[in-house]
Amino acid sequence: MNPAREDIMNKLKSAVHPVPEKPDFEEPIYHSIDLPLELAFKENLEKVNGFVHLFQSEKELFTALKEFLSSYKKEVVFCNEDEISSQLNAYGIPFQQSSELSKEIEVGITGCEFLIAHTGSVMVSSAQKGGRQMFVYPPLHIIIAHKNQLVDYLEKAYAGIHERYQDNLPSQIALITGPSRTADIEKTLVLGAHGPRELRVFVAG
């Protein structure tokens, strides 16, 4: 054997291999959430280029939404969920309702299943009347939610989905964490690559 090789092999044989630490299965998997859930959700979603608007009441929410949408034409704002549509009508917010989305659509308004504070994610499902296309087609996706839809961690949201739908789970359950993005081309971040380029979540207390 080559002397240099033999020297290396002898060093490897005499090397002390550290004993791996035993995993602590009692240790929490996730970092703790120190803020109120709505603030933690806002902080984490805004880290990934989403926007969160917090309000004390539905009236405040829809008043602010009306002002925000004032620069958009009725023909480019769509909402297909009955409960939200009735509120839009009540507050005089112009929008369209159709199962076939216009190519001119700019804004899609939907609800959600849960808001997950730990990751700033929004859980949506195909059980929502708006349909799956409303989550990916409009350039601007606005989500209307309430504080009682906030949960701390993902496992709580999945438990809530199972409790709500029992043995009739939706065919699609998805998580939205910020606007669509890609950095595949020259490592440059591009928003709106495969879906909405802007995500706004309006949350009422």
Q: What does the pLDDT read at residue 21?
A: 79
Burial of 92 (C-beta count, 10 Å sphere; 0-12/13-18/19+) = exposed
| Angle at the Cα of 182 from the Cα atoms of 30 and 178, rounded to 5 degrees | 50
> What pLDDT, in 10s, does the model give residues 151-199?
999 999 999 999 999 999 999 999 999 886 565 555 555 554 566 889 9
Q: Within 10 A of 38 (CB to CB), how many other CB atoms are there?
A: 17
> What pLDDT, in 10s, does the model give residues 101-118?
888 899 999 999 999 999
pTM of the model: 0.82
Backbone torsions φ then ψ of 67, nearest 5 degrees: -65, -40
Is 108 in contact with 96 (CB distance < 8 Å)?
Answer: no
Residue 55 reports pLDDT greater than 70: yes
Cα separation, 141 vs 134, whole angstroms: 8
CATH of domain 30-204: 3.40.50.10420
Mean pLDDT of the chain: 89
Q: Which residues pair with 204 in a beta bridge?
A: 55, 146
Is 104 in contact with 75 (CB distance < 8 Å)?
Answer: yes
Burial of 80 (C-beta count, 10 Å sphere; 0-12/13-18/19+) = buried
Q: What does the pLDDT read at residue 185?
A: 55
Cα separation, 200 vs 43, whole angstroms: 13
> What pLDDT, in 10s, does the model give residues 36-52?
999 999 999 999 999 99
Q: 88: helix, coil or strand?
A: helix
Cα separation, 104 vs 158, whole angstroms: 35
